[in-house]
Structures are given as structure tokens and as C-alpha cells.
Structure 1
Amino acid sequence: MIKFFRKIRQGLLTENKFSKYLLYAIGEIVLVVIGILIALQINNWNETQKNKQQELIILENILQDLKNDKVGLNDIIERRKSKVASAEIMASYYNGVKIKKLSDYYFHWTNVLYWEAHNPRNIAFKELVNSGNVSIIKNADIRNSLLEINASYDELFDVRQHMYDDYTLYLYSPYSEIINYEDGIKVWSNPNIEIELSKEDVLVALKNKAIKNGFTLASFNNNLLKDQLIQILKNVELTITLIEKEIKK
């Protein structure tokens, strides 16, 4: 092909047809430029397809993480509700409500003190953030929603740490010197179990103002965490819907 064009140029020069040669040369340059532009366009298209494929893989991984996270969120929300209910019952004992069964006291204080925490399944998105490639997600709504979920978890972790500090100060430390934890765990694991429980220990615990304050704080903080978790769950469900729509495009 190159020899063919070269012969044409040589023929035009030999025939002393400079104007035609000039036009031909310009045309040849135009063809070369067009060829380069087409090549660049193809290259850009290939790169776009490659990035799109990579984005889809990332979105599918994030989607799976979010679905797993949704299951965990539903579970911990129910557990927070249970802890709020138990903390309110425990606080009522310290406000004069009569304890009908010793096992009730043991069950509810163990239910509150048993530490449970939910950690998000956001491995794929964290890797994306750490690599600095968040911009590969082109859908701004998805990107912003994922960042919002991350920020919400950071806020939740702060509250959770504060609650753990309260637990340690007002509940774990005082109770460790008064009541047998093993008995509480047995009753919590099986509320219908028949074991001998110490009424004397309960009476001592009922006189402890730190413990009373601990259950008041436990009710407040578990309720706060529950509300934060519900909001995160809503954002997770919304993001799942957005990603599923994006993948189907």
C-alpha cells in the first residue's frame, strides 16, 4: 500500500504536475489524520468498555456486601430493641417495681450486659476507597449513597464506643463484685432453667446507684444506636436498589 502511494507521488512529480501533487499530498495527510482519529476513537471505546466492565465487577461485589450487611443490620436492630426493653425493665426495678421472679432480674441484666456489635460488610467499597478509585463508579447517586453509609457508620461507632465506656463504668465493674455472671448467662441462655439464684446479691445490686444509672444510660444509648442502625438500613436498601438498576442497564 505504501509503495502504491509512493508510485503515485513519483508519477505526479515526473509529469511535472506539482499542483496535483500538492493536492494529493494534502489528501494523503488528511487520510493519515483521519486514520489516527479513528484509531484513537477505537482505543477510547475499548478503554471505556474495559472501565465499564471493571465498574460492573466492583458494583456486583459491593452489592453482595450490602446484601450481607442488610441481614446483619436487621439482626442487630432487633437485638438493640431487646436490650432497650430489658434496660427499661431493669431501671423500673430500681424505681420500686417489684421483682416477681429472681430469674427475670438475672435474665434482663445479662441481656443488657451481653455485648453485641455489628460491623459492616463493606470490604469491596473500602478497597475502592483505599485505592483512590471511587470515581470509577460513574453513577453519582450510588457513589454518594455509599459514602453516606460509611460516614453514618463512623458516627455509630463513636456512640457505640461511648456506650461501652458507660457499660464498663456503671455496669461491668459494679456487677463483677456483686453477682455471679455464670448464673446470669445460664438464665439468659435458657430462661426456663431451674437453678438456685442469690436473692441477697440482687438486694445488694438494687442498692447500687451506679448500676441504676447504668441501666438508664443503657436504655438511652441502645435506643440511639437502634435509630442510627435503622437509618443506615434504609440507606443500604436504597443503595441496593440503585446498584441493581445500574447493573441491569
Structure 2
Amino acid sequence: MLKFFRKIRQKLLSESKFTKYLLYAIGEIVLVVIGILIALSINNSNDLKNQRQKELTLLTEMRQNLKIDLEDLDFNIKGSFERIQANEIILKALQERVPMNDSLKPYYGNIIGNFQLSNNTAAWENLKSVGVDLVSDDSLRNAISNLYEVKYTYLENTTKGVDDGHQWNTLYPQFLDLINMDQVWVSAEPVSHEALMDNRKFQETLKMNLFIRNFMLDQYETIHQDVNSLLDQIERHLLTLKEQ
């Protein structure tokens, strides 16, 4: 009987040691898992911080690019107004058969020429290279893509496909034949102002030029508003990033 109780005692001791070992092993595993989770959390936090810093840098660069674009747009808008005014005055003078005088020379000198937006795309190209998803605000990301991929592209295609074509294929050849340029965009005088009063082709060309000039002016003014709106969005988002 004593031998039997000794066997039971040894078994219980053995089971107790196993239970303690099992609990210790489970504890070690839990600690390892917790350590891994903490390390992953720190790593993810650092990655997110690096992403936001990169986003901040790129958007700051884009803000500067867009401000330069605004200066270019201001120049194009001002120049478009001047071309429109010159074309209107010369066309009216011809239609109303106003005699040639020195006051018309500056306007003759300004009937030709168009403009093209030299938009700065450095920040946009950098953003595309790392992925536009870097911009954490959905609305801002869509606005950026829409400006660079849609609106700027449409303006460029319209300038090259429509405006340039009329300027250099239609208006400029007639200008060379019919007008003597004293100084580009300063002064010019027609070979015969009186002959232009009856030159229907030249007057129709001026009318088409006015249509295109007004259309392009509207495009520049619209994009000017779009750029200002996007700048406001970027400014607000930059403040948010700096507060994080």
C-alpha cells in the first residue's frame, strides 16, 4: 500500500512540473508575440511618419511650382487682353473705314502672337514616381491629378492643335504679305490700310483670331481659378500634416 501511494505522489509531482513548464513556455511565447507586435507597431509608426514627411516635402514643392504657374498664367491673361484689344481696334477701324494714323500702329503690331503655359511639373513627376497614393487626402489627390492630367493637358493640346495652327498657318502668312513690322508687339504699319478695308479674307481671319483669343483667355482664367483653389487645398492639408 505504501508503495502505491509513493507512485501516486511521484506522478503528481511529475504532472506539476509539466504544468509549470507548460505555463512557462506559454508565457515565453506570449512575451515573444507581444515583443513582435510592439516592434511592428513601432516600425509601422516610423514608416507612416516617413511617408507623411515625404508627402509634406512633395506638396511643399508642388505649392511652389503652382505659384510659378500662376505668374505664367497672369502674364498670358494680360497678353491675351492686349491681343484681343488690338484685333478689335484694327477690325473696327477697317470696317468703319477709319483713315490710317499713327495711333493704329501699336495695335497693328499686336494683332499676331499667342501664348503657351509653361507649367512646372517637377513635383507632379516626383509624386507619380513614388505613387499618387502618397497624398493621404482623397479630395486633394483627385484635384491634383485632375489639374495635371486633364486640365493642363487639355490646355496644351488646344494651344498646339487650334491656336498655333491658326496663328502660324493662317494669320501670320497674311501678316507677312500685308503688313510691315517696325518692332514686334510694339509697332507695325500695313502696306495699304485702305486695301485692307476691302480685304474680306484678312478681316475674316481677324474675326477668327478674336474668337480663338477670347476662348484661350477663358481657358487661362479658368485654370487660374483652378490653381488658386488647389493651392488653398494644399495649404490646408500642409497645416494638417504639420500638426500630426
Give the Å deviation of 1:176.
1.2
**Residues 174-232 of structure 1, C-alpha deviations (whole Å, 9 max, x = no match):** 22123222x153xx43x6xxxxx866433344443332122111111111111111111
Shift of 1:156: 1.5
Q: Return the offset for 1:29.
A: 0.5
- Percent identical residues: 29
Q: How does 1:20-35 map to 2 (within 5 A)?
A: 20-35=20-35
TM-superposed deviation, 1:158: 2.4
Cα RMSD (Å):
2.3
Aligned to 2:19: 19
Match runs of 1:197-212 below 5 Å: 200-212=191-203
**Bigger mean CA deviation after superposition, 106-115 or 83-92:** 106-115
Structure 1 residue 107: Cα displacement? 2.0
Aligned counterparts, 1:76-91, within 5 A: 76-91=76-91
Tell whether the 8 Å contact from 1:171 to 1:214 is kept in structure 2 after alignment.
yes
Q: After alignment, is 120-129 or 38-47 more displaced?
A: 120-129
How far off is 1:97 after superposition? 4.2
Aligned equivalents of 1:127 and 1:99: distance in 2?
57
Equivalent residue for 1:148? 146
The correspondence of residues 154-173 of structure 1 with structure 2, limited to 5 A, is 154-161=153-160, 162-173=162-173
2:227 match: 236
Q: Which residue of 2 aligns with 1:214?
A: 205
**What displacement does 1:153 show?**
1.7
Q: What residue identity is the alignment partner of 2:125?
A: K
2:7 alignment counterpart? none
Q: How many residues align?
A: 226
- The alignment's TM-score, normalised by the length of structure 2, stands at 0.83
Task: Name 2:123's counterpart in structure 1.
Answer: 124
- How far, CA to CA, are the matches of 2:82 and 2:43 in structure 1? 58
What is the TM-score of this pair, normalised by structure 1?
Answer: 0.82
CA contact (8 A) 1:146 1:239 kept: yes
Give how far 1:122 is off.
2.7
**Is 1:84–1:222's contact at 8 Å kept on the other side of the alignment?**
yes
Letter in 2 for 1:64: Q
